Amino acid sequence: MPAIPTLPRRELGKSGLFVSQIGLGCMGMSFSIGSPEARDDKRSIEVIREAFRLGINFFDTAQVYGPHKNEELLGEAISTLPRDQLVIATKCGIYTRDGKSVADSRPEILRDAIEGSLKRLRTSYVDLYYIHRIDPTIPIEDVARTMLQFKKEGKIRHWGVSEASVATVRRAHAVFPLTAVQSEYSLMFREPEKELIPTLRELGIGFVPFSPLGRGFLTATINADTKFDAGDIRANLPRFSKDNVAKNLALVSLVKEMAERKGATPSQIALAWVTSQAPFIAPIPGTTKLERLKENIGSVAVHFTPDELADFTKNFDALSVEGDRYPAALEAMVDRSR
């Protein structure tokens, strides 16, 4: 693998918050990806600390990952790092009740959430605090005012929303300006291009894509014979059914072809494509492996000419992506308000 490049910083919109062009999503270290038996806290802590040494300053977690375990893991990992050089993002507003995920943004719930996150992260403030899913029973203006109060108290410095509609983003931003919006975004999921990304550009809000590698599919390490552990979210995602994986391998072939042309890996091509879409985009790919971490960072050295980017995107768009990204229960939690 070539030398690891210096990681540029990007401003999330016009917020004054600068993050590494590639962040580190920590969810899979404790939750939802892979098997519980394969998770290794010690190794994950090493990955987080090495990420910082290599130039990543942007680390993403959430209260629901575990729950709580992922925040505790990140808190331990950063306890030896200079806090003022880190951008720590966590999320609140999703809870598992009676076996179902529900969104809850009542003020007292959010108050309890931020206090718990601060303790688990071993910090006095969170740099970027997201509403993980929009609670349709609480006006987003009220949520924004709660977040503004947290900022006045010094508990958070910036706030954001995840999987929110453009209408919700506008309403929230009018009360307390948003620093960032999270959504899935990759070569395989392009919905944010229709309305969300143009709106964020207009309002001066940053965009933090999760799953920029298509939940691992664009790494070219998954095929129709891949078996997912029962605790791996992909085991229940329509896009990762055996038939849909087989159909979508043609998409991976295009990524592999571009990787060969650019002397890069498929992962690096997929990440470079995401970061090429706008200067206010900072994706947060996850990994538990040092070699994958270095590979992801290496994506910042991959550059496309305008013609290369346009042709590659056109060729990708000529193929269909088979299978929904979420089953019905998870899709129901995505904010579609107008």
CATH of the domain at 208: 3.20.20.100
Instruction: Give residue 38's pLDDT.
Output: 81
Instruction: Give residue 108's pLDDT.
Output: 98
Domain assignment of residue 46, given as a range: 9-213+268-303
When divided into structural domains, the chain yields a total of 1
Catalytic residue, chosen from 65, 129, 130, 185, is 65
- For tokens 């590494």, the residue is 20
Instruction: Give residue 35's pLDDT.
Output: 82
Assigned domain for 140 exists: yes
Assigned domain for 43 exists: yes
Assigned domain for 88 exists: yes
Assigned domain for 135 exists: yes
4 touches 297 (CB < 8 A):
yes
Q: Is 129 a catalytic residue?
A: no
Predicted structure pTM score: 0.97
Instruction: Give residue 109's pLDDT.
Output: 98
- For tokens 């990992």, the residue is 77
28 touches 57 (CB < 8 A):
no
Instruction: Give residue 2's pLDDT.
Output: 61
Assigned domain for 218 exists: no
Helix (H) or strand (E) holding 73: helix 69-78
Instruction: Give residue 34's pLDDT.
Output: 85
Residues of the chain short of pLDDT 50, as ranges, are: none
Coil, strand or helix: which one is 194? coil
Please measure the distance between the N-terminal and C-terminal CA atoms of the chain and give it in whole angstroms: 47
- For tokens 């598992």, the residue is 96
Assigned domain for 299 exists: yes
Instruction: Give residue 177's pLDDT.
Output: 99
Instruction: Give all strands (DSSP E) within the chain, no chain letters.
Output: 9-11, 18-20, 24-25, 58-60, 87-92, 94-97, 100-103, 126-131, 156-162, 180-184, 206-210
Assigned domain for 330 exists: no
Assigned domain for 256 exists: no
Compute the chain's Rg from CA coordinates.
19
